[in-house]
């Protein structure tokens, strides 16, 4: 078996945030997205859709040409991009779907590209405890209008997410022909770009009053021979604030047959003294090694 993918499970630390709004406003309270566990606890999260948008925005910030948005092909349908993965990096990496109705009794058509970059929601490891930020807009007093009072749900804690990049599907497949499939050098460039976008992850939603950094502060990564997000459920933080490295090493042992290479890396200012020096890299060296995996795949 040859390597075909990279999976990275990561932790982000947020001191005070309101990261992703829900649509169930009640009594002037701005809620955050939460998932309810069997025991009734509610874990805040950022949706995968918001994270994909954040990475797309980062690619634009890095001066890649992003696919323009167009009117939907069908009435009441979803807007679409240019559906051109050859020209636009986001159409290649994040895929697209568009369905157009047929005319004059003809059958409709559809164009679909499944995203080679798979994204899990960024979910908190600690439950929501009902904290609220009280806000008031006093500007109306200048014209005799009573202040507008509102509250916003806030949360503090460690968040965990996962991405999986299907290396063998970048720059080829749906939306391409055999003649215009991207060269390996361009494929490599695109994969490294999305890794940089992930490495510097930041979403613009609710950041005016609750500025937060959701970029990875710990990563468990693997260069895989079989597509599987092996660390997705296995990265956890113990009561002493340290990551359970022995637990992660057991995952590596369980999936050894399907792993070409693996690494753990952390930002020491956030997760200090995780384990033996030869077990944990710093984040910079960790991402350099991941880029080396990309180089070796597209050589």
How much is the mean pLDDT over the chain? Answer: 91
Question: What are the CA-CA distances from residue 225 to residues 5, 98, 196, 256, 262 (Å)?
Answer: 7, 32, 23, 10, 12
Q: Is 234 a residue whose pLDDT tops 80? A: yes
Read off the pLDDT of residues 190-218 as tens digits, 9 standing for 90 and up: 999 999 999 999 998 888 889 999 999 99
Cα dist from 115 to 69, 96, 172, whole Å: 17, 7, 12
Residue 251 belongs to a domain: yes
Residue 28 lies in a domain: no
Domain extent for 279? 5-18+45-127+156-297
Residue 135 lies in a domain: no
- Count Cα atoms within 13 angstroms, Cβ side, for 262: 23
In a domain? residue 132? no
pLDDT greater than 70 at residue 174: yes
pLDDT score for 149: 84
Per-residue pLDDT tens over the stretch 143-163: 777 778 889 999 999 999 999
Most distant CA pair in the chain: distance in Å? Answer: 72
pLDDT tens string 77-87: 778 899 999 99
Quick check: 171 and 14 in contact, CB under 8 A? no
pLDDT at res. 273: 65
40 part of a folded domain: no
The residue whose two tokens read 């090694």 is: 289
The residues, ordered by sequence, that sit 6+ positions from 30 with a Cβ below 8 Å of its Cβ are: 18, 21, 150, 151, 152, 153
The pLDDT of 31-53, averaged and rounded, is 95
Query: What pTM did the predictor assign?
Result: 0.92
Q: Is residue 136 part of a domain?
A: no
Q: Considering the domain boundaries, does residue 191 fall inside one?
A: yes
Higher-scoring residue by pLDDT: 174, 28: 174
Split into its structural domains, the chain has a count of 1
> If you average pLDDT over residues 162-188, what whole number do you get?
97
Inside any domain, residue 84: yes
Spell out the SS3 assignment of 232-290.
CCCCCECCCCCECHHHHHHHHHHCHHHEEEEEEEECCCCCCCCCCCCCEEEHHHHHHHH
């Amino acid at each position: 078996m040859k390597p075909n993918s990279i999976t990275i499970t990561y932790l982000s630390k947020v001191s005070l945030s309101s990261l992703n709004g829900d649509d169930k406003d009640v009594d002037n309270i701005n809620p955050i997205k939460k998932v309810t566990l069997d025991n009734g606890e509610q874990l805040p999260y950022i949706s995968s859709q918001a994270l994909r948008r954040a990475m797309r925005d980062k690619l634009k910030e890095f001066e890649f040409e992003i696919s323009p948005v167009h009117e939907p092909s069908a009435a009441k349908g979803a807007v679409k991009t240019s559906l051109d993965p050859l020209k636009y990096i986001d159409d290649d990496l994040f895929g697209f779907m568009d369905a157009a109705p047929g005319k004059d009794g003809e059958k409709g058509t559809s164009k679909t590209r499944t995203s080679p970059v798979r994204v899990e929601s960024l979910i908190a490891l600690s439950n929501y405890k009902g904290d609220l930020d009280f806000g008031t807009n006093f500007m109306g007093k200048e014209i005799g209008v009573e202040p507008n009072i509102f509250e916003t749900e806030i949360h503090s804690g460690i968040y965990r997410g996962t991405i999986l990049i299907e290396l063998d599907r970048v720059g080829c497949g749906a939306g391409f022909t055999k003649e215009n499939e991207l060269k390996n050098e361009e494929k490599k460039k695109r994969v490294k770009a999305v890794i940089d976008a992930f490495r510097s992850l930041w979403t613009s939603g609710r950041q005016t009053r609750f500025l937060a950094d959701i970029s990875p502060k710990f990563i468990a990564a693997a260069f895989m021979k079989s597509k599987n997000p092996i660390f997705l459920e296995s990265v956890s933080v113990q009561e002493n604030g340290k990551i359970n490295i022995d637990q992660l090493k057991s995952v590596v042992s369980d999936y050894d047959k399907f792993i070409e290479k693996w690494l753990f890396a952390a930002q020491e200012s956030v997760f200090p003294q995780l384990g033996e020096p030869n077990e944990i890299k710093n984040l910079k060296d960790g991402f350099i090694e991941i880029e080396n995996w990309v180089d070796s795949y597209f050589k």
